[in-house]
Amino acid sequence: QILINLLSNAIKFTESGAIKLMVKCDETLSQVQFFISDTGCGINEDQLALIRKPFIQLDTSPDSRRPGTGLGLAICDNLVKSMQGRMDIKSCKGTGTTVTVTLPMPVSGDGTPPPIRA
């Protein structure tokens, strides 16, 4: 869900240019990082804290070509926090945005991932 929401936002706000997804694990496999970068419209620095809040949309004009509810990033932020992770957003208006999600990957004593809890 996290990747779907972040990639959907990148697609929605990038009219031309590129969208990149990179996945990286550290050497000990104790964490995984996802980097989603786009060359879209970008976000002003003073608005970065706002976009993590539910129902916040920066473009509220009636003729907006970017429909949505303003829940995507709030959902991502809550999911990442519930997994004891971190979501960092760096953006520059007119240049693009990079979202970095860092999630712990607990490993059991024998090196296998623990079972997934429902």
Calpha distance 47→34 (Å, rounded):
22
Calpha distance 107→27 (Å, rounded):
13
Look at 24-28, 29-33, 91-95 and tell me which has the smallest mean pLDDT.
24-28
Residue 9 has pLDDT above 70, yes or no: yes
Please compute the mean of the pLDDT values over residues 83-104 and round it to a whole number.
Answer: 93
Calpha distance 5→76 (Å, rounded):
7
Instruction: Please compute Rg for the chain using Cα positions.
Output: 16
| Cα dist from 19 to 39, 60, 75, 92, whole Å | 7, 24, 21, 15
Q: HSE (CB half, 13 Å, CA atoms) of 90? A: 6
Give the architecture-level CATH label for domain 2-58+68-104. 2-Layer Sandwich (3.30)
Locate 80 and state its tokens: 């990442």
Longest CA–CA span in the chain (Å) reads: 56
* pLDDT cut 70: percent of the chain above it: 73
Residue 71 has pLDDT above 60, yes or no: yes
